Amino acid sequence: MQFRKILITGNAGFIGMHVFMKLSEKGYELTGIDNINDYYDVNLKISRLRAQGFQGDINNGEPIKSTINNNLFYKGNIQDKELVNKVFEENDFDCVIHLAAQAGVRYSLQNPDQYIQSNICGFQNIVEACRSKQIKHFIYASSSSVYGLNTKMPFSANNGADHPVSLYGATKKSNELVAHAYAHLFRIPTTGLRFFTVYGPFGRPDMAIFSFTKNILEGKSIDVYNYGRMKRDFTYVDDICESVERLIHKPPQPDADFNSDNPVPARSSAPFRIFNIGNHHPVDLGEFISAIEDAIGKKAIINYKPLQMGDVLDTFADVQDLHDYIDFQPHTSINDGVNRFVKWYKEYYNIAD
């Protein structure tokens, strides 16, 4: 099944930018929407849009065309139902890739309302528009944060994930539940993607690799929580993009073997699937810091701190289902990925070697 006309929400965001650019290079007809909020540096978000070929005035209230493949961009908020409906009315999408969200576990402790409005109300606007326009495949970003208190490793989408420890994780879990309801009621094929600690060029400044690189280069200390006793399944952004592109053309089908007496969370009698997208290789935080030090050629000054509220100790993705479904799984090593990020960071901020 081939889909060519795609809406990507959140294309001024980190993952959204990379997915947009990869699909643009493949010749898809793309439309993006993003509100370009000030959660972090707006200039970085503008730079991402410029890289996608959007050189015009993004604030004029009308969609602007990219200099690359005539793709479109709307500046706007997915919480604005009228705008969302306008975007869907003016275009004829085959597939929607919903990546717009209020990100960040720690920020949700101070600004819970923003997570409800963006991640739940905004999600509802998008999925309802998909229902109205009978979209053939709805793909959306979930998160490894849904696993919360789970300790059985590796995390499998076929096991329950019902105890999130952050509001961010709770909103992502709610997205999965709403998606299933729409898949069941309206037969909209929905695919949820639980991303595991995505990193790479143009990444978010609130992510560890960004702040660690910045502070090490500037000779400042880095805060390392739980005294460094944490592991993360770091996943390079190009591997995310490859996974998403392969999934576009494989909308889920109802599982003929679904057993409602013993339901598997990641599939259903509805056209519904959930996949982990992670590297299947958890990395100790100390090893991660060492990789950044090696890439920069400078030692970090480490300020150890207790575990923060909302953080989990370890993440580890079981990606067998993903591999079986698309014949691919993330594989970029931490050293290769970190080297690429540091190289981008120095070039972007004009830092000499």
User: Where are the domains positioned within the chain?
Assistant: 5-203+235-280+315-331
Active site residues: 168
Quote the pLDDT of residue 152: 95
Quote the pLDDT of residue 60: 64
pTM (2 decimals)?
Answer: 0.96
Distance CA 337, CA 198 (A): 10
Q: How many CB atoms lie within 10 A of CB 152?
A: 11
Please say whether the structural domain 5-203+235-280+315-331 has been given the CATH code 3.40.50.2300: no
Give the alpha-carbon dihedral of 86, 89, 95, 98, to 10 degrees.
Answer: 10
Averaged pLDDT in 10-residue chunks for the chain of 353 residues = 90 98 97 95 97 87 89 96 96 97 84 94 98 97 96 96 94 98 98 98 96 97 92 97 97 96 96 98 96 97 87 92 98 97 97 83
The 3-class secondary structure across the chain, one letter per residue, is CCCCEEEEECCCCHHHHHHHHHHHHCCCEEEEEECCCCCCCHHHHHHHHHHCCCCCCCCCCCCEECCCCCCEEEECCCCCHHHHHHHHHHCCCCEEEECCCCCCCCHHHHCHHHHHHHHHHHHHHHHHHHHHCCCCEEEEEEEHHHHCCCCCCCECCCCCCCCCCCHHHHHHHHHHHHHHHHHHHHCCCEEEEEECCEECCCCCCCCHHHHHHHHHHCCCEEEEEHHHCCEECCEEHHHHHHHHHHHHCCCCCCCCCCCCCCCCCCECCCCEEEEEECCCCCEEHHHHHHHHHHHHCCCCEEEEECCCCCCCCECCECCHHHHHHHCCCCCCCHHHHHHHHHHHHHHHCCCCC
Quote the pLDDT of residue 320: 98
Quote the pLDDT of residue 311: 80
